[in-house]
Each structure stands twice: as C-alpha cells, then as structure tokens.
Amino acid sequence: MSRFYPYRWLSALLAIVCLAGCEFAESANPTAPTVAGPIPGVSITAPKPLEPGAGATLVASSDPYTLLIENPGSSGQRAIWLQLEMAADSNFQQIVHQADRIEPGPNGRTAYRLPEPLGAGFTYYWRTRAADGANTGPYSAVSNFTVVVPVVIEAPVAVEPSGNLTTNKPTFKARNGAISGTTGVVYRFEVSNNAEMSPAMAVVTASPGGDGNTSMTLGELPYNTVLYWRVYGTDGTKQSGHSQTLAFRTSPPPVVVPPPGGGGGVPGGVPKGNGGRAADPSGGRLPLPNMSHIVAAVAQANPGALQNSCQDQGGSWQFMDQVVDTLRTYDTRWGYNGKRGNANDPSKDVVDYHYGGGPDQNSTDVYIIDVVGGHCGATPSPSWGDVTDVTINSGTIGRWISRGRF
C-alpha cells in the first residue's frame, strides 16, 4: 500500500500547479471577457453632455434629435462604451429612453441620434456614464432641454382695395394666415406711393379678426392717386412673409357744388365763451382745447340740424356753422378745414384749430377735428375725433379756412 503514496503526492502537487497557473493566466489578461470586476486600480471618468446645451429650447421636429457627448477616459485596458438615460423629471423616475451600449465616437466626441422624435411641451433630462464590462464610471452632470411647439405665422393674403375705386375712403382687408404656437400676433398694413414700398406712407397695426379676415381704414386719402399696400403678421419676435402687393387708384375728386345756406349763430341754451383769441405760441404749438362738450351741446340744442347735416344728400351747413360760431366765442382760432389743403373744398364734418403763429386764414398749422360721427349715415352723432396725425400720415394736410363767413 505504501508504494502508492508517492503517486498520490505527485497528483496533489500537479493539481496545485495547475490551479496557480490558471489564476496567473486570468490576471495577466484584463481584457478577457471572463474577468470579473471591478478591476482594482482602474478608473473611468464621467462623460460630459455637450449638445443640446443645458437649458436649451428646441423646436419640435419630425426628425429625432442628436445628442453630442464628450467621451470619457479610462485608465484600464478594456474597451469602454457609453450608457445613457433620458427622463421627464430631474430625479430620473420617469424614464423615456435608455441606451445601454453606445460605442464612443472618434475625435473625443460621440454623436447619438435618438431613435424617435420627442413630444413637444416637455422638458427632458439626460445623463451618461461609461462602462467596460468589469468597471462602471460615474454619471455625468445632468443636462436638460425643452421641446416646444413650432411657431407658425403664415403670410396673410391682401384682398382689397385693388384697381380703380369709386371712393377715397377705402377699407383695407386681408385674409388671415394660419397662426399656431404663439400668442399676441398682430397684422401690420403698409401703404406707400410706390411699388417698392419704400418709404411707407403709413403703417397701421390691427389685431386679427375672428372671422378669418382683418380690416382697417385710413380715412380720407388723396383723390385720383395710385397707392400700393401689403400686410404681414408678427408676434414681436417672429415675422411672417409679406402678402402680395396690391395697387389701387382712389376716385376722382367730386365736383364742388356751392353748398346750400346754413344758418349759424349760437343755439339757445348752449354756453358761450368770453371771446378773444389765444396768443401766438413762443415756440412749438398751442395745445388742443378739448371742446367736445360744446359739440354735444349744439347737437342737443338743435338735433334736427345734426340729422340734416349731410350736404352731399341735400342737407345744410346749419349744424357745422353753429358749431364753428359757438367755438369761436371761446377762441377765434377755430374755423373750417380745407380738405387736403384745398381752400375751395371745405370739409363737411371737420373743424380746424390754428395752433401756430400768424394769421389763421390759409394756415396749415392746424389741429383737424372730426365733429360728426357717422356723417351721412342714418344716425349721425356729435363726435370729437382728432384726425390730425392720420391726415398727415396719409400724405395730405389740412388748411384753415373761413368759408367766406368771417
């Protein structure tokens, strides 16, 4: 029996040598997939999110976004890959996408294209880390971006006026374009005397109409004049393209017929002023007196004269004459207005106040006040509308006249 002992000792020795050799082979090849981690002494740094930048706002798109990552480093010999998490919350409780193995890109950067588009109206949080199968590095800093609905402001369509008109008081009308993803959009109508639209004679802002169309008016424009206009939309940040440019010619001036007699004076019961004339200004212009209560008082004292004030339809000048005569008891700077500066064409519902120095007659230094609302309509009413700036911006002027009465 003892002769077998040497052989038993030899078998045990061979087993120990084999075991030591296998362990040495495993530790000598750290890239082997059989290595269990972590491997001591191996350090993997955190990647760095680069794009989109932290806090960025992206417009929703049908194409998936691409994330750019600065590659991590490793002190080990094993190949590393990236892992990515994206969530709808900063605590990563609502994971919306996860990638477990992203191969690092060249030149120290990795571009990762998401597999599908992201929904609009949310903020997304994302982070990455690296692993080599035995070791796992720390997560990167958390980055975030917000996906918003794209802003759409389509160009409106200019509708009218166009061509030869029968009026010099056109209504400008545009068909609204589609609007989405924004609020506070307005339309800006531009009017010019040349097709290049430079310079613009007037720019008028209007809110989009609820019926799909938007309108505005400039009041009276010069007679027999070719003008051009277009319109665009804006929310203050984004602007649509311009509509097409339309051209139109205002109507010829009407034949001036001597007006029927009026019948001025101050109606009974209407308060009078103390007479006189405001002194010439030493510089600039005199302020506009607010005499709306006088116009209302004349209308109340003589409603029939107001109702019959449409001279173009056979009415008389009585209401206008009584308004002007009453105003002149306060300040003789009040008078009539020559339309578009024409002293032979008196405005039938507008008075002037001479704010400058020198004689009143024929002066163009005037405030232009509309005193009849709905003139020539079914129910005219007393009004007090300062149309000075509108008149000037439309390229015309007012002129103080007496209509031969004073």
- pLDDT below 70 — which residues of the chain? 1-37, 255-262
Q: Which residue has the tokens 């000598």?
A: 28
Look at residue 342 and tell me if it is in a domain.
yes
Question: 174 and 133 in one domain?
Answer: no
C-alpha 180/C-alpha 59 separation (Å) is 13
Look at residue 261 and tell me if it is in a domain.
no
User: Is residue 256 helix, strand or coil?
Assistant: coil
Both tokens of residue 68?
């750019």
C-alpha 69/C-alpha 103 separation (Å) is 11
C-alpha 63/C-alpha 303 separation (Å) is 69
Look at residue 256 and tell me if it is in a domain.
no
pTM, entire model: 0.45
Long-range CB pairs of 109-113, under 8 A, 24+ apart, other chains included: 109/50, 109/68, 109/69, 109/70, 109/71, 110/47, 110/68, 110/69, 110/71, 110/82, 111/66, 111/67, 111/68, 111/69, 112/66, 112/67, 112/68, 112/69, 112/82, 112/84, 113/64, 113/65, 113/66, 113/67
Range of the structural domain that residue 299 is part of:
292-401
C-alpha 400/C-alpha 387 separation (Å) is 15
Question: 394 and 298 in one domain?
Answer: yes
Look at residue 263 and tell me if it is in a domain.
no
Question: 160 and 136 in one domain?
Answer: no
Supply the pLDDT for residue 8.
Answer: 40
Supply the pLDDT for residue 39.
Answer: 86
Look at residue 19 and tell me if it is in a domain.
no
Question: 341 and 297 in one domain?
Answer: yes
Domain total of the chain:
3
Domain boundary among 148, 169, 188: 148
Look at residue 23 and tell me if it is in a domain.
no
Question: 60 and 143 in one domain?
Answer: yes
322-358 pLDDT, tens digit per residue, is 999 999 999 999 999 999 999 999 999 999 999 999 9
CATH of the domain at 103: 2.60.40.10
Question: 190 and 141 in one domain?
Answer: no
Question: 156 and 131 in one domain?
Answer: no
Which one-letter amino acid corresponds to residue 253? P
Q: Which residue has the tokens 């600039």?
A: 284
